[in-house]
Amino acid sequence: MAFLIRTIDFTAAGREIIRDRIAEQTSLTVGRAAENDIHLPDLAVEQHHVRIERAGDGMLHASALGTLGFALDGRMVMQGTIDPRTGGEIALGAARLAIAAEADGSIAITIRQIAAEEGKTDALRGFALASVLPSKRAMSWVLAGTILLLLLMVPVASHLLRTPTKPDPTGKTPGAVLLDSAWSSGELSVKHHSLKDNCESCHVAAFKSVQDETCISCHEDTGNHAPMPRLAGGAPALSPGDALQWRIAEGFGKEGPLGCVSCHSEHEGPVRQPAGGEAFCSDCHDKLDTRLTDTSLANAHDFGKGHPQFRPVYFASFGAAKPVRAKPGTKPVERSGLVFPHDVHMDARGGAARMALSLRQYGKPLECGDCHALTPDKLAFKEVKMEESCEGCHSLVSGRTAGGGFSKLRHGDVKDLAEDLARISSGPRRRVGPVRQRPVQIGSASPAYAADFGRPVRAYIGLSNALSVGGVCTECHLPTRGPTGQADLMPVNLPDRFLSSGYFNHEAHKKEECTDCHAADTSKVASDLLIPDLKSCRDCHLGATAVKTKKVVPSDCAMCHAYHLPAGQWATKGPKPHYRPVPDKAAIASLAGPAGLKP
Amino acid sequence: MMATKAAQTKGGTGRFTQDEKRRDSDHVSFLKHRGFRWLWIALALSAASIAGYVLIDQEPRPNGGTWYGYTLGTIGFGLILWLSLLGVRKRRINPGAWSLKAWTSAHVYLGLSLAVVGTLHTGFQMGWNVHTLAYVLMLLVIVTGIYGVVVYATLPASLSSNRKEMTRAQMLDALTAIDRQLESAAQPLGRAEADLVIAALAQDVFYGGPLARLTGRYPGCATSRALKRMGGNSEETARVGSLLERRRDQLAQIRGALRIRAMLEIWLFIHIPLTIALIAALTAHVISVFYYW
């Protein structure tokens, strides 16, 4: 058993010098001292450093002779076992002793000097994850730069450089500001959804909150509830906290608590503006008279507990130009100019009922709906037309026509009546019944020869009779005298709506009988104003805080009033239109003028 | 001795007392710093935010634009800026009345309470916009931070056990030693086998991308491939084979260290860039809100 000790050195020129020697012994010592079997002139090596000896099974055992260990296969040890068949490497200072079994059974120890490795600490950097990932700093710059560029600089630059255009409510003008949709904090309300790509139509100037005038530039028709000074005076004082908030907000250019956006907040999703709650109204209206001492409005806060009596508008005198509002606590006497006892017409056993029974279009006693027809929006009633509703019984037929029908007096204008009556008296007379006529009889084929220039006085008498008491007109109308003393009729005056500051939907009450609310069946004269009072409503309708039962309907203010136009209702559910009835411009103009006029 | 003890019990300001205090605190985790002081502060902040959110009537609905929303937003903005200053603080090795441990403790707990403050600031209104981007970035930063705390608490032990008392340099040395033996042992091999050994030796120790490091899977490992394809039953190939096995085992240890190290460090590669991105998104968020006010 021998060790083949092979030393590999390099000349200055880099040439390899290999020296082999054979040591016929079972153990070797390695060290700096010259007497060692393997002499390593290296200060890092001990005088007697390691002993390598054969162990059983062809293994080699290496052990440190001093206190300093050695590296075996890269690991610092004091002793270790090497299998020469697989090999091993001992490191001592700069020397590397590679141990391997030769084919003849001897063991080769190859000694090689290793140049000090440079950049080892660099190699250790490979352990850090940073060696395989882009640097944090680079990633930070890229991410932050992208965000700032796309989400801040592009929108701001395109906003500053754009040519301002008029807001387009239809949303057809494409947005001039780029990427500002990323700034939207939420979807716009249903009505404003067409503006979603057109932020600058509301956000006009940079760092300036949405102004009322911007809203009004489109919503110029919106009523203002009351003029701004009245609104400001009627509102209760803000709590100190709210007042401070608004002072701060107004300091930053926000519109005050009466500005559009303080109620109409946007970017809250595709919703409709909810109607104000009872508290919203009663904030001001509960003790309104303490703040607006000159107001004609009574306090209100809860329909069941605190709501003033209805004050319908009606014509208080015959032929008045304008209706008046009923005074609180009085019983209105309506001067419509009509003679119409409701009870006579509604009595199921009376003469009117008998007559209706005999007529094909009725066939049964009269009902309210025979005269009063709902408007197409099902909210109110159409004007009662004499020709449609009355003439079935109150006939104005005056004779036969040539075609076999009936001629009748025209209704509506006394002048028409006078003409028609004159024609009856002076026109060609038709026989009422058919009479056999002989050929060539004068008057049959040639009306010109049949003219009957009767005495005109007959027409005047007829007109006078019709218009005076007991005449056909005065069945329903009141006789009067015209400016020149001629016989005339009182003009008929009925308001379009009796309750002009509230909203009542007849369709919603169709399960009720008309007479449940309107005391028509007991009304003997047309001067009775048959508008129900508060009490009849409160049978079912109580305030918003009332408990809902089969009979009781909790009713907040918005059920009958809307904020901008109190005469209507703002419904957030159901089909369009959401404001009912659809207001006309005159109604808005008469209310308070365009919204947003500053105090 | 008596005097120092007396000073200690009295909580005096003697040199010994101070040193003892410092020595004690040196071994207290930043999580438990001063009896969880910052945990309690963070819990108080969260509880106050939630109570305010529930109790304060915000018209028309809670969102970032009410006065309470602005308050929460301001608190959150200040917190984010302060939390991000930890990176500046830890680089300032200078004396002063500030403790990096206290700062880290506060960073962790206040960072967690930021999730509450930020979420309440949103009013739970989300969308595809810069505001929600900032919120999501904030949550990602917080989540990676939680991950960081967890791995810092658990992984160093396994990193130590994986080392088996070897330094990183020794692991590389061991591999180099095996490589030298492999090179000489492979001399008798034929072309095909020699090429396999060359490929194994030529492959970088740190071969593999971040994903390989994190999962510990190296499908392209040339050493494994050489082991698999090394044919022949001769003594030479057997020797090379056993050396390759040793090489594979040594690589496995190095890669184990790489994996634990990667899991320890990966969160910072999200936490830090996303923090900077968050500050950018936050800037865009605040400016845009008031630009389109």
What is the distance between the alpha carbons of residues A594 and A119, in angstroms, rounded to a whole number? 83
What's the pLDDT at A437? Answer: 58
Residues sharing a CB contact under 8 Å with residue A392, sequence separation 6 or more, in sequence order: A356, A359, A361, A362
User: What's the gap in Å between the CA of A31 and the closest CA on chain B?
Assistant: 20
Residues of A in contact with B262 (CB under 8 A): 129
Q: Where in chain A is the domain with CATH 2.60.200.20?
A: 3-116
Whether residue A127 and residue B178 make contact (CB cut-off 8 A), yes or no, is no
Split at pLDDT 50, 70, 90, the class of A449 is: very low
**What pLDDT sits at residue B129?**
92
Q: Encode pLDDT of A252-283 as tens digits.
A: 888 888 888 888 888 888 888 778 888 888 88
> pLDDT tier at B23 (50, 70, 90 boundaries)?
low
Distance from CA of B131 to the nearest CA of A (A): 7
The string of pLDDT tens digits covering residues A454-479 is 556 666 777 888 888 888 888 889 98
The tally of CA atoms less than 13 A away on the side-chain side of residue A568 is: 19
Least confident of A99-113, A170-184, A326-340, A421-435: A421-435
CB contact under 8 A, B283 and A148: yes
**Interchain contact, B172 vs A180, CB within 8 Å:** no
Residue A432 has pLDDT above 50, yes or no: no
Lowest mean pLDDT among A149-158, B164-173, B204-213: B164-173
Using a pLDDT cut of 70, give the percent of chain B over it. 92
Among A155-169, A467-481, B71-85, where is mean pLDDT lowest?
A155-169
CA-based diameter of chain B, in Å?
Answer: 87
CA A108, A109, A113, A119 dihedral sign is positive
Closest by CA to B115, choosing from B83, B70, B93, B152, is B83
Q: pLDDT tens-digit profile of A98-111?
A: 888 887 778 888 89
Residue A383: phi and psi, rounded to 5, are -60, 140
Terminal CA-CA length for chain A: 118
Q: Which of A456-465, B65-74, B196-205 has the lowest average pLDDT?
A: A456-465
> What DSSP line would sit under B238-282, residue for residue?
HHHHHHHHHHHHHHHHHHHHHHHHHHHHHHHHHHHHHHHHHHHHH
How much is the pLDDT for A599?
A: 32
Whether A412 shows a pLDDT value over 80: the answer reads yes
C-alpha span between A109 and A94 (Å, rounded) = 15
User: Of A28-37, A288-297, A413-422, A584-593, which gets the smallest average pLDDT?
Assistant: A584-593
CA–CA separation, A550 vs B192, rounded Å? 95
Dump pLDDT digits (tens) for A1-48.
688 888 888 887 878 888 888 888 888 899 998 898 898 888 888 889
Q: What is the mean pLDDT of chain B?
A: 87
The pLDDT assigned to B201 comes to: 92
For range A523-543, the mean pLDDT: 90
User: Chain B closest CA to A348's CA: distance in Å?
Assistant: 56
B31, two tokens: 């999580």
The C-alpha of B91 sits at a distance from chain A's nearest C-alpha, in angstroms, of 15
CATH architecture of the domain A3-116 equals Sandwich (2.60)
pLDDT tens figures, B33-51: 888 899 999 999 999 999 9
pLDDT value at residue A174: 65
- Closest-CA residue in chain A for B64? A185
Per-residue pLDDT tens over the stretch A57-73 = 888 899 999 888 898 88
Cβ pair A143:B213 closer than 8 A: no
A182 and B129 in contact by Cβ < 8 A? yes
Residue A563's nearest CA partner among A276, A282, A266 is A276
Q: Is residue A213 within 8 Å of residue A261, measured between CB atoms?
A: no
B255 has a chain A CB within 8 A of its CB: no
**Most confident among A353-367, A562-576, B141-155 (mean pLDDT):** B141-155
**What confidence score (pLDDT) does residue B83 get?**
93
ipTM of the complex: 0.86
Range with the lowest mean pLDDT among A484-488, B126-130, B225-229, B284-288?
A484-488
**Cis-peptide into A274, omega within 30 deg:** no
**Residue linked to tokens 């106050």:** B48
CA–CA dist B23, B250 (Å, integer):
39
Residue B99 CA to residue A400 CA, distance in Å, equals 116
- pLDDT-based confidence at residue A173 (cuts at 50, 70, 90): low
Mean pLDDT of B161-178: 86
In the predicted model, is pLDDT for residue A597 greater than 50? no
Tokens representing B43 are: 């819990």
Q: Report residue A93 as tokens.
A: 């200072």
Please give the mean pLDDT across all residues of chain A. 83
Interchain CB contacts (distance < 8 Å): A and B: 176
- Find, in chain B, the residue whose alpha carbon is nearest to that of A84: B239
Decide: pTM greater than 0.80: no
Q: Looking at the predicted structure, is the pLDDT value of residue A450 above 50? A: no
- Interval A293-318 mean pLDDT: 90
pLDDT of residue A458: 67
Q: B133 and A208 in contact by Cβ < 8 A?
A: no
- pLDDT of residue B149 exceeding 90: yes
Q: Do A209 and B293 touch (CB under 8 A)?
A: yes
Provide the 8-state DSSP code for A55. -
Contact by Cβ (8 Å): B226, B245: no
pLDDT at A151 over 90: yes
- pLDDT of residue A368 exceeding 50, the answer is yes
Confidence tier at B7 by pLDDT (50, 70, 90): very low
* Number of CB atoms found within 10 A of residue A320's CB: 14
Predicted confidence band at A162 (pLDDT cuts at 50, 70, 90)? confident
- B292/A183 Cβ within 8 A: yes
> Picking from A87-101, A112-126, A317-331, B184-198, which range would have the lowest pLDDT averaged per residue?
A112-126
Please check the confidence at residue A433 and state whether its pLDDT lies above 50.
no
Tell me chain B's radius of gyration from C-alpha atoms. Answer: 28
Stretch A355-369: mean pLDDT, rounded?
A: 89
CB A71 to CB B261 under 8 A? no
Residue A243 with chain B: CB contacts under 8 Å: none
Q: Choosing among A107, A120, A124, A136, which should be mutated to test the B contact, i.e. which has the most B CBs within 10 A? A: A136
pLDDT at A330 over 50: yes
| Count of Cβ atoms closer than 10 Å to residue A396 Cβ | 19
Helix H or strand E segment including A475? none
